[in-house]
Amino acid sequence: MFIQTEATPNPATLKFLPGQAVLETGTLDLRDPTEAAKSSPLAERLFKIKGVSGVFYGSDFITVSKSDGEWPQLKPAILGAIMEHFMSGAPLLKAGESGGNDDENEFFEAGDEEIVTTIKDLIETRVRPAVANDGGDITFRGFKEG
């Protein structure tokens, strides 16, 4: 298994691309070890690496943030944890957990469909690529009162 890494504009964040699907729908942002232990075996393992302060799952990438330490020392341990997880075939999320955002949570009023379609198109074509370069993701959640 070959895992690519990409720098992001934030020097405390590194993007890992395992070359396969990570999260089927939505995104998941984990910012503390207790939350990670409840949600994801991989995130739990990553938080055990000294210096890791955040884990973000996207559709085909994992973004890891650090609070201290240097990437040349942290990167091998993170790559090892990600590789071991995917090679084991273990699920990314614990039973009953899902990505944090999905289309079922969208809200907008009747009559706003045209505006919502335009917003979604702009998110997909302009905003999402820029946010993905920083190791994140964005989804449409709703449109209310203009």
Burial of 102 (0-12, 13-18, 19+ CB in 10 A): middle
128: CB partners within 8 A, 6+ apart: 137, 138
pTM for the full model? 0.73
Q: Which candidate, 58, 80, 78, 57, places its Cα nearest to that of 69?
A: 78
pLDDT at 15: 93
**In the predicted model, what is the mean pLDDT of residues 106-130?**
78
**In the predicted model, what is the mean pLDDT of residues 7-16?**
91
Residue 100 or 12, more confident = 12
Instruction: Categorize the per-residue pLDDT at 145 as very low, low, confident or very high, splitting at 50, 70 and 90.
Output: confident
**Beta-bridge partners for 5:** 16
pLDDT at 134: 64
**In the predicted model, what is the mean pLDDT of residues 17-36?**
89
- Give the model confidence (pLDDT) of 29-82 as tens digits: 999 999 999 999 999 999 999 999 999 998 889 999 999 899 999 999 999 999
Instruction: Categorize the per-residue pLDDT at 98 as very low, low, confident or very high, splitting at 50, 70 and 90.
Output: low
